[in-house]
Amino acid sequence: MKKILMVLLSSLLLFLGGCSFLNDAQDTLTYINEATDYLTAANEFANDVPALAQQAVQDLQAAEDLQALLQDMQQQMESFNNLQAPQIAADLHGQIVEQNNILNNAIETYLTSLKEGLLDPAILENTELVQTVQDITSIIEQIQTLGE
């Protein structure tokens, strides 16, 4: 369905390149694609962090991998937060930015523990990391419905 919509919109863009409506539609589709990519990254992050954090308690290489993963997620959050959301998705984008701030705080807790060499697997259970990613996922799923 998404591919068909993209082909139709691309065809319309060729015929009516200067139309503001088409520009808005293209901006919305671009944003939806960016949000979908971010959703994929956030889900992979949420799936990878728990096991890697458990390994990082005993394994220095896993701790380094965890640190890299956490820092990469922070960069992805910052990039997503800086996206210009189309007006139709502005409220949802704001909600994701709020959740990203919560997630960033949880990531900072992990990074601080890693730097101090005190990574405790219980930190995983006490943070809102996984729940926050689930909240972000829910919001992005709402954004994806805008493209249907």
Position 24 scores a pLDDT of: 61
What pTM, to 2 d.p., does this model score?
Answer: 0.73
- Within the chain, which residues score under 70 in pLDDT? 1-25, 118-128, 146-148
Position 73 scores a pLDDT of: 94
Assign domain 30-146 to its CATH architecture.
Answer: Up-down Bundle (1.20)
Rounded CA separation 73/139 (Å) = 18
Instruction: Identify whether the C-beta of residue 103 lies closer than 8 Å to the C-beta of residue 132.
Output: yes
Instruction: Identify whether the C-beta of residue 32 lies closer than 8 Å to the C-beta of residue 139.
Output: no
Domain chopping of the chain, boundaries? 30-146
